[in-house]
Amino acid sequence: MASKEIFVPDLGDFKDVAVIEVLVKPGDSVQVDAPLLTLETEKATMDVPSTDAGVIEKVHVAKGTKVSSGTLIATLQLAAGAAAPASSVPATATPSAPKPAPPATPVAPAASAKPAEPATPAVPTATVVPAASAAASAVPGVTEQGFARAHAGPSVRRFARELGVDLGRVRGTGQKGRVTDADVKAFVKSLMVPGAGPAVAGGAGGGALPKVNVPDFAQFGPIDIKPLGRVQRISGARLHASWVNLPHVTQFDEADVTELEETRRALKAKADSAGIKLTTLAFIVRACVKALQQFPLFNSSIDASGENLVYKKYIHIGFAADTPNGLLVPVIRDADRKDIYEIARALGELSARARSGKLAGAEMQGGSFTISSLGGIGGTAFTPIINAPEVAILGVSRASMKAVYRDDAFVPRMILPLSLSYDHRVIDGANGARFTSYLAKILGDAPGLTEAVP
């Protein structure tokens, strides 16, 4: 029987990815798409599937080692009559040396045109500069952020990388939105037409920005250099893109959560007996669900053309989780269908997986509104950056006891600071104030937050 070597597929810009589990051993029979090993980055875990059916002859990696695109995983004895498809081994996966990725920002093909100043990779720009030739526009550079979120196969990823196309900006027309070779070609062609806008997966982008002048800090005294973690690099690019491309406005407000805290403490024993940690954040998530149902504009997004507003009929709430590897945003799906206990359970389970590095990529996708809570750490207010393509994010600081003037007297009340950042293209100040006022009212209605979901 014929043997075949199986390699790690295209991982984009990820290198030296940890092998946290080897799922097969010599002599095991595997089918097509059966998982062979599990890899872990700071952002997610992923299984590497078998490209063919057969019997494992030899495993070339071990738990605890690190691999990159093109690393040899295993040797497979093919099943009788099976033939290795031409595209089963990724084109970038060669056992000696993986083919390096092309430059992040390719030069415009027109020989007479002066190359544009390279844009900061974190800024997904969709600007097209017309010229005398139809080929005067440069293709946007490849970014790790774009490739990480793209739904495309290894051959399409390689094709896009060769052309210097950021897959995250290409709208897929294949099954379930999968990006095809034709989609990549259409994207490049759209850039080659003067004045035409590309079919991108995000909203309109901003132009190139002047770079910050960074001096040689060693000339001023001793320094120590430590590389940014992968999560910091990925999230940093997304935050930068959001801040540059979305006009942020932050609305500050306060909510009286005195009764909410009393209710939470009263229900704590019941929740503990069910293995649920009932936190204030669970009540905030429930309150945000009610506010989003009242103000669906805050649960919308601008579409790829930048000319339409997409109103989502689902409510998936993301929340910022502080982990040893960096900030992650797990998503509670269908939060509007969960009661306070189900939300609390989801918060606990997702937070635990985020801290242990077991959070799957799908568990960080599809959010329609995000909450960033610093209540456990401190602070009185802050300006959270919108988690694009969402249009709003709620920041929550630490609640504190304050003297509030009520009924002709000062009384002690537990006050929770709220910071709502929103995309001013979609939401104006009046709507922002209405949202925070309604949210504060809901947070003051503890019985309404604990009632069963209809």
Rounded to whole angstroms, the Cα distance separating 351 from 356 reads 9
User: Active-site residue 316, yes or no?
Assistant: no
Which tokens in the block code for residue 323? Answer: 């982990």
Rounded to whole angstroms, the Cα distance separating 373 from 392 reads 14
Contact indicator for 393, 386 with CB cutoff of 8 Å: yes
Rounded to whole angstroms, the Cα distance separating 289 from 343 reads 11
Rounded to whole angstroms, the Cα distance separating 184 from 181 reads 5
Selected catalytic residue, list 60, 151, 248, 424: 424
Listed residue (284, 283, 309, 307) closest to 296, CA to CA: 309
Contact indicator for 325, 18 with CB cutoff of 8 Å: no
Rounded to whole angstroms, the Cα distance separating 89 from 67 reads 16
Helix (H) or strand (E) holding 47: strand 45-49
Name the β-bridge partners of 249: 422
In angstroms, the Cα distances linking 316 to 225, 313, 395 are 39, 10, 17
Per-residue DSSP letter, 382 = -
Catalytic residues, which ones?
Answer: 424
